């Protein structure tokens, strides 16, 4: 790595807190090395208090761009010059591209999700999807799914702090796309069962299933997962959540969140470098089947 860095090497950063556990630096640097691209990607421990200065630094250093993760994805929008249509709808940014001094915010989580379906030969375009969760990841998924042509999305969430914001976002998606999105209370299990049964794909986009809620799922039993429904859990640690164990028991096709991580990264990589990430090579490195 040190051998390939010169005075010409271009810098990309990850602005997050915590940052040191992230797989993004490894993923992007491996891809740069594989393709012989003269970029380096580093993680920077940045929180809401230091974000504005970090963005000023990014401009001053003429960095190519950055990824933005928790807790900065929403706040960062106000320091940028422009937002992509999906980013505007989500009210969040996970990728900054420095276009000759103009900082443009994008969100690639939803693109990564949709591409992870495609890569697994799952075609949800023109069909119905049910999503558990209405937080940041769920919003990015519903926005991109709606923009890509998914026909109908049923969203289930508990009545927590995400509820009102979800209602607002869903109204915007319904106004600005041809997709029909409806929000339901996750406590209504009969409705949840019926909506999953009439969907092509069911997605968990909540934190239920990972630490500190590892081993848990809000799906009561395998009867909620008809065999012909494809189950996606966007959690990637653990690789097989309690939901995916139920999906296996029910005989459903299922995938976890690792491919979404890869493809959201690939979409950011393309925005910065104009090149396609070497997907097969990265799948080997990330152990994605
Ligand atoms: P967030 O904090 O924005 O949203 C959390 C969501 O979980 C909300 O909908 C909330 O209502 C729900 N929730 C929390 N506790 C719950 C409970 N006990 N019962 C029911 N619902 C509950 O978080 P986020 O960024 O949207 O992330 C959500 C999950 O998605 C996390 O597990 C995260 O690891 C995963 N994720 C995966 C990828 C990927 O690329 N695979 C990307 C982003 C997030």
Output the pLDDT for position 46: 98
Identify the bridge partners of residue 132 per DSSP, sorted by sequence position. Answer: 156, 204
Q: How confident is the model at residue 23 (pLDDT cuts 50, 70, 90)?
A: very high
Per-residue pLDDT at 2 exceeds 70: no
Q: How far is the CA of 124 from the centre of ligand 1 (A)?
A: 22
Q: Which of 34, 62, 73, 258 is catalytic?
A: 73
What is the 8-class DSSP label of residue 166?
Answer: H
CA atoms within 13 A on the CB side of 271: 25
137 lines ligand 1 (CB under 6 A): yes
CA of 278 from ligand 1 middle (Å) equals 28
Any atom of ligand 1 within 6 Å of the Cβ of 158: yes
**What pLDDT does residue 136 have?**
94
The 10s digit of each residue's pLDDT in 212-253 is: 999 999 999 999 999 999 999 999 999 999 999 999 999 999
pLDDT digits over 187-198, tens only? 999 999 999 999
pLDDT of residue 156: 98
Q: Of 150, 254, 157, 249, nearest to 202 (Cα)? A: 254
| CB contact set of 54 (below 8 Å; sequence gap of 6+) | 15, 44, 46
Q: Which domains does the chain have, with CATH numbers?
A: 10-107+260-286 (3.40.50.10860), 110-256 (3.40.50.720)
CB of 238 within 6 A of ligand 1: the answer is: no
pLDDT single digits (tens) 36-45: 999 999 999 9
**Residue 289: per-residue pLDDT:** 84
Angle at 207 between CA 46 and CA 246, to 5 degrees: 150
Which residue of 133, 142, 158, 210 sits with most ligand 1 atoms within 8 Å of its CB, as the best mutation to test the pocket?
Answer: 133
* Percent of the chain scoring above 90 in pLDDT: 98
Q: Which helix (H) or strand (E) holds 201?
A: strand 201-204
Q: Whole-model pTM?
A: 0.96
Ligand 1 within 6 A of 205 CB?
Answer: yes
Q: Give the burial class of 289: count Cβ atoms within 10 A of its Cβ; 0-12 exposed, 13-18 middle, 19 or more buried.
A: exposed
């Amino acid at each position: 790595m040190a051998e390939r860095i010169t005075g010409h090497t271009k810098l990309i950063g990850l602005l997050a807190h915590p940052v040191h556990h992230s797989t993004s630096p490894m993923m992007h640097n491996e891809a740069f090395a594989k393709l012989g691209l003269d970029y380096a990607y580093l993680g920077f421990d940045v929180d809401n208090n230091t974000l504005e200065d970090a963005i000023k630094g990014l401009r001053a250093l003429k960095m190519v761009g950055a990824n933005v993760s928790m807790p900065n994805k929403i706040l960062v929008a106000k320091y940028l010059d422009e937002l992509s249509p999906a980013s505007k709808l989500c009210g969040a940014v996970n990728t900054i591209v420095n276009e000759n001094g103009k900082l443009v915010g994008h969100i690639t989580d939803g693109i990564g999700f949709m591409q992870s379906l495609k890569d697994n030969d799952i075609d949800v375009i023109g069909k119905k999807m049910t999503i558990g969760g209405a937080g940041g990841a769920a919003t990015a998924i519903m926005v991109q799914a709606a923009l890509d042509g998914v026909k109908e999305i049923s969203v289930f969430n508990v009545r927590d702090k995400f509820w009102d914001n979800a209602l607002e976002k869903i109204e915007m998606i319904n106004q600005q796309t041809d997709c029909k999105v409806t929000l339901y209370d996750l406590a209504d299990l009969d409705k949840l069962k019926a909506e999953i049964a009439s969907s092509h794909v069911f997605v968990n986009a909540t934190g239920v299933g990972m630490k500190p809620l590892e081993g848990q799922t809000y799906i009561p039993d395998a009867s909620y997962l008809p065999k012909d429904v494809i189950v996606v859990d966007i959690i990637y640690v653990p690789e097989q959540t309690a939901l995916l164990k139920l999906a296996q028991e029910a005989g459903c096709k299922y995938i976890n969140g690792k491919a979404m991580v890869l493809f959201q990264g690939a979409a950011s990589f393309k925005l910065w470098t104009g090149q396609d990430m070497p997907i097969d090579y990265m799948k080997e490195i990330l152990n994605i089947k």
